[in-house]
Amino acid sequence: MRAIVLADEKSPRPVNGSGHVRALAKIAGLPLIVRNLRTLHSAGVEEAVVVTGFQAGRISKALASYHLGIRVTEVHNPNW
């Protein structure tokens, strides 16, 4: 099973110290995108395609910093 996760938006206001990137907002100490990917993995998803745009480098760094348990393919959308 495969999922698509959109992580290319910018929040209009600071989100929990994330620097305006909703995907990096911390929930219980983990970036939202990490929590979402771990939840998808526990639901049986084997691969996630993460679409990045705004602050793509920061999102990539966060994805590389945590054990996700799921195969992740990043796709960059320069026109976020």
- Taking only the tens place, the pLDDT of each residue in 49-72 is 999 988 899 999 999 999 999 999
Say which DSSP state 24 is in. Answer: G
- Mean pLDDT score of the chain: 87
Tokens of 11: 């929040």
Q: Which residues pair with 75 in a beta bridge?
A: 51
**Contacts with 44 (C-beta within 8 Å, 6 or more apart), sequence order:** 1
Q: Which tokens sit at 59?
A: 């999102």
- Residue 40, φ and ψ in degrees, nearest 5: -60, -45
pLDDT at 78 over 90: no
Question: What is the pLDDT, as a whole number, of residue 59?
Answer: 92
